[in-house]
Amino acid sequence: MAQLVIDIGNTLIKAAIFDGQELIDVQYYHQVTHVELQVLLSRYPVANAIISTVRGSTEAWFGILEQQVKVLYFNRSMAQDIQNHYGTPQTLGLDRLAAVLGARRLFPADDNLVIDAGTCITYDGVDAGANYYGGSISPGLNMRYKALQHYTAVLPLVEADPGFTDYYGNNTVNAIRSGVQNGLLYEVEGFIRSYKQQARHLNIILTGGDSVFLDTVLKNSIFAGYIKLEPYLVLKGLNAAIQERND
């Protein structure tokens, strides 16, 4: 029987079907309706489900799902593979914890830095001994663009351009692109450099909605050979949690 894994993020709801460790389907929603839920469940013989949410609210369809399959709600006690040394573990985002759990499951013998590029960008490391000490949170790519337009009188809202490679802009639009995209690139490279000073061998795992963008802009960096693109890392971490609970 398959497992249904649901990750409710700040922007999107991602629903994945796993057969064991194999990811066989992923669907994206802004909101889940009863009809959409039934369509998904009709495609696969789902026995168990796990839900992780960062929104802090209960969705109406939770109860509908509970009537049809066994549902687990991901919590911090379920990440038993991780030695969590966070100073306030009760405030650690479940998406961040699921991501390091996924990294640990994929690369258990290595030090891993997870860069989750979504609404916010988070940097979280888990070492080869499964120790997690903390991480960093900064504004995401689109949040940076929107902030410049929102908090100024005349700057326009500019879209990201992965093809922009100049280190300066010769007009306002490209000056914004240079500031946002190069600023983000320098930030990411700085975090990677700091983590690499502490680890002999470090995997850099990119995930989240803007992970492909980051992968593109980092392709010419000195760290390109260490980068692993795992857009479904959080989903894989949640699947690892439900598998461990059902074993």
3-class SS of residue 171: coil
Q: Please indicate whether the domains covering 2-73 and 107-235 agree at the CATH topology level.
A: yes
Q: Work out the average pLDDT over 137-158.
A: 97
To 10 degrees, the CA torsion angle through 24, 122, 95, 129?
A: 90
Distance CA 73, CA 6 (A): 10
User: What are the boundaries of each domain within the chain?
Assistant: 2-73, 107-235
CATH superfamily of 2-73: ATPase, nucleotide binding domain (3.30.420.40)
**How high does pLDDT run on average in the chain?**
92
User: For residue 96, what are its two tokens?
Assistant: 């961040």
Asked if 166 is an active-site residue, the reply is no
pLDDT digits (tens, 9 = 90+) for 71-129: 999 998 898 889 999 999 989 999 999 999 999 999 999 999 999 999 999 999 999 99
Predicted pLDDT at 247: 61
Q: Work out the average pLDDT over 33-52.
A: 88
Q: What is the pTM of this model?
A: 0.92
> Residue holding tokens 């696969």?
44
The answer to whether the Cα torsion of 206, 17, 38, 42 is positive or negative is positive
Active-site residue identified among 7, 25, 81, 95: 95
3-class SS of residue 204: strand
- Classify residue 219 as exposed, middle or buried by CB count within 10 Å of its CB (0-12, 13-18, 19+): exposed
Pick the CATH number of 107-235 from 3.90.79.10, 3.30.420.40, 3.30.565.10, 3.40.30.10: 3.30.420.40
Q: How confident is the model at residue 237 (pLDDT cuts 50, 70, 90)?
A: very high
Residue 163's region, left for phi above 0, alpha for psi from -120 to 50, else beta, is: alpha
Query: Residue by residue, what is the 3-state secondary structure of 146-159?
Result: HHHHHCCCCCCCCC
Residue of 56, 221, 70 whose CA lies nearest to 206: 221
Q: How confident is the model at residue 164 (pLDDT cuts 50, 70, 90)?
A: very high
Residue 170: alpha-carbon gap to chain centroid: 34
